[in-house]
Structure 1
């Protein structure tokens, strides 16, 4: 199993052993610096949510000593470093329509509370990871992840938005930075002990007590108490963000109910001093009391929410058995009387057929889903505003080796949805499959003028150069991608390879020399910061 910071302590609660828990933590320590492991412990969300709150609310805060050591910019950099590991993990869902939907939903909440972006005006990133545990998590600097189980469990968009609002608040209030600062970066052992104690509590409260009693009890208790306060604050602020953004605020209440049902076996039974979050029953009572003070607000869920649940159901498990299970679920869903359920089920069956490489069947089902949507007066706008149908159609055409048709469809879709990053990546892929490297290169260079910090565009450009036999430029593009991810040692290594290529001319060598000077300085600063943190 893979670790994603906060969710690293929430996997398979009742079945994992202390040995497997320690193994997972050790793998995480190897993957990233010890600072990332510290965050994994501190961001943990056992009750299914992690952190959140809004600076615009008149709520008691937990203090702001964080700025003494960890600035908002440093916090963002730390989050980006962790995300470099997450994005390379196979459990990270790199799916254009899902990512775009989550980011639209998250930014709608942020627009209701722009102060939540903080003084550094974070550009938040929302993403999904494969995980059967009902949970979500936040990294410092505005990175928020949701487990696939959570996306599938949410019955309404308001329920899903309530989780995201909660996480936004954690980032806005800089709970993680405060936690790290309270340790002054001078004691890693209590933080690792905290992770082990919380992990052990999932399967054995007695084992957790033993860990907590092993010389680090006071430090652990301090961190757990802090996290309880952070969760209470996050719940209340997330509730306010949810309401102000126009969603049904009772969505948080109903989702807490689902959460309580899924965690009853362990959450309420753990010793109070080992709970890093308030009891779910306490949180439900608090939010229910707040909901009673507001007028009922009806919110109509759009088709896209249900389409994304269908995509996630397929992407969660693409094994043969997983696809069969998804197909059975969609066939059952077709019997629903609700129009959105029927469309989403047909779409899901088309996606399953595409994954099974039955492209004729996939195309027929997708056209059926499109026709159903077009006939719906309340849902037909989704055909124009979402990339869900276009993306699947492009995949079907590419899978059936109709590359010219696929690239043409992607080009038309981009004209309608120019901000869709997923369609951009698909378009380049189809051009490369159609052996149109020159067209792909021109398009990518235009895109990089607008999105210079898009590492994925740089990697695609490297593929274009490789197809054209331009080895030096290929490695320069790979170096640029690694530099964007702050992987300075890897970037410098790629520059060294580029310099030794036979086709490295005056222009290429000039670019290599200029980048090398800048990146060596950045690498030097990073190493100095790491040494400072270890002291």
Structure 2
């Protein structure tokens, strides 16, 4: 997996997908978990994601730090990177958390970035979406189907270097004539978010700081403010409230390291691929850390086909910061981009000896093995798919590994899994037909039983989508 590629124990009966826990809030017969997953399939079908395992892992680590401190109970969040330069983030019932690439551009530091996610998780913890739906039903206002459709339509147009428009956030579909009610929700989400930041050991002052930065951006952009501000309006009274609450919370924490600036460098380069110097200029606006600039220089060498220079720079950086797995993972990725598959494999496995669960290195290992040893690639990626059953990129690589290693039924099954996660349920069911035929030809009764179970699950997923 490259920088620029198109972006609990599972229950046996559900073949690796998270169990749908009981929830107190339902809509159209679906609990919040099913609702969120169905929404995510629709969302993926309409929008572009940025597939970058290094950034994905970093984002998941931030969410994992916030979720236990956000009064969300026992949820297993699914984190989505959206390919859009617009400033936005969202959270959807069931634990779906999304971040536009553009949030990295506008959030100057880690805790400011995390404050936006903490606010969105605050909406989830207070069940704001479900509460709004209950009010909408009682007043015969638009149904959830119309609201979710509006959110997807908002994300479906062109925009930015990635060709994707921003999607509205969790509250984007909230009814405009319920402004006073949504102000209450915003205050609740602010309060829960601030407390989550403090409990997670992050600076609660980052939230009012980020809000003021967004307010300045809005004033500069006039009639085209960031989408986040259209759905989460900022007023002086709200910022003052957040500031007063933040002043009551005190956290002692060592200053964060350079990881956030390094991830920002990745995002800035991905958005400015045609003019990498713009990424350098943008990064220098918010940080004076020379380490992040050197990391960006190495990334630029990699994407401009100078692998020797890139690898030399990455190795030097890694020697200076041996605990930052992101650096050797970037080097392994650069070797893979240069088609140095054995070197990429060796570098990935050096990381995995010390950090066997590090997702970016496991993805590089699996992709490097596709040509070196497809059967081994299949084993590596099948294990990763068991652990990350809602990751379409993993299933995509697994389908390729299965095909190259002669596992025809598995190849169709894995492709079906990728398709159903991307909202293409009819195509996914056809892949299961092909998989069952291949299993039948091979007299593989265990696989046939598994495929039939998944067909029942896929049909249920399609029924959920039909609710919209």
What TM bracket, shorter-length normalisation?
0.7 to 0.9
2:399 is equivalent to residue 462 of structure 1: yes
2:307 is equivalent to residue 359 of structure 1: yes
Deviation at 1:497, TM superposition (A): 2.2
Q: Is the 8 A contact 2:112 2:206 kept in 1?
A: yes
2:85 is equivalent to residue 136 of structure 1: no
Q: Is the 8 A contact 1:350 1:361 kept in 2?
A: yes
Cα shift readout 1:142-199 (whole Å, capped 9, x = no counterpart)? 1222223322222222211211111111111111122223333975479569969xx8
CA separation in 2, counterparts of 1:347 and 1:275?
A: 35
Q: Which has the higher contact order (CA 8 A, sep 6+)?
A: 2
CA separation in 2, counterparts of 1:522 and 1:81?
A: 12
Q: 1:168 to 1:510 in 2, by over 3 A?
A: same
2:157 is equivalent to residue 157 of structure 1: no
Q: 1:284 to 1:102 in 2, by over 3 A?
A: same
CA separation in 2, counterparts of 1:269 and 1:408?
A: 48
* Equivalenced residues, count: 421
Deviation at 1:423, TM superposition (A): 1.6
2:426 is equivalent to residue 493 of structure 1: no
In the alignment, structure 1 segments of 5+ residues that lack a partner are 1-64, 200-218, 375-379
Query: Which of 306, 317, 320 lines up with 1:369 in the alignment?
Result: 317
2:359 is equivalent to residue 421 of structure 1: yes
Deviation at 1:328, TM superposition (A): 4.7
Q: Is the 8 A contact 2:412 2:431 kept in 1?
A: yes
Residue in 2 that maps onto 1:291: 246
CA separation in 1, counterparts of 2:148 and 2:57?
A: 37
CA separation in 2, counterparts of 1:327 and 1:530?
A: 43
Deviation at 1:354, TM superposition (A): 0.9
Deviation at 1:389, TM superposition (A): 1.0
CA separation in 1, counterparts of 2:391 and 2:232?
A: 36
Deviation at 1:522, TM superposition (A): 3.8
Query: Which of 447, 450, 475 lines up with 2:412 in the alignment?
Result: 475
Cα shift readout 1:126-148 (whole Å, capped 9, x = no counterpart)? 34323333222112211222223
Deviation at 1:426, TM superposition (A): 1.1
Q: Is the 8 A contact 1:473 1:498 kept in 2?
A: yes
For 1:184, what is the secondary structure of its paired residue?
A: helix
Query: Which of 54, 67, 87 lines up with 2:25 in the alignment?
Result: 67
Residue in 2 that maps onto 1:313: 268
CA separation in 2, counterparts of 1:439 and 1:357?
A: 28
Q: Is the 8 A contact 2:81 2:98 kept in 1?
A: yes
For 1:491, what is the secondary structure of its paired residue?
A: helix
2:305 is equivalent to residue 347 of structure 1: no
For 2:430, what is the secondary structure of its paired residue?
A: helix
Residue in 1 that maps onto 2:34: 77
In the alignment, structure 2 segments of 5+ residues that lack a partner are 1-22, 155-173
Residue in 1 that maps onto 2:376: 439
CA separation in 1, counterparts of 2:82 and 2:396?
A: 22
Q: 1:493 to 1:238 in 2, by over 3 A?
A: same
Deviation at 1:344, TM superposition (A): 0.7
Instruction: Provide TM-score, normalisation by structure 2.
Output: 0.78
Residue in 2 that maps onto 1:395: 333
Q: Is the 8 A contact 1:224 1:275 kept in 2?
A: no
Residue in 2 that maps onto 1:98: 55
For 1:94, what is the secondary structure of its paired residue?
A: coil
2:345 is equivalent to residue 407 of structure 1: yes
Query: Which of 124, 130, 137 lines up with 1:177 in the alignment?
Result: 130
2:135 is equivalent to residue 168 of structure 1: no
Deviation at 1:227, TM superposition (A): 2.4
Residue in 2 that maps onto 1:250: 205
CA separation in 1, counterparts of 2:418 and 2:143?
A: 34
* Equivalences for residues 157-306 of structure 1 within 5 A: 157-184=110-137, 188=142, 220-264=175-219, 277-295=232-250, 297=252, 300-306=255-261
For 2:76, what is the secondary structure of its paired residue?
A: coil
Work out which of the two has the higher radius of gyration on C-alpha atoms and give 1 or 2.
Answer: 1
* Equivalences for residues 33-44 of structure 1 within 5 A: none
CA separation in 2, counterparts of 1:359 and 1:265?
A: 40
Q: 1:422 to 1:506 in 2, by over 3 A?
A: same
CA separation in 2, counterparts of 1:362 and 1:193?
A: 44
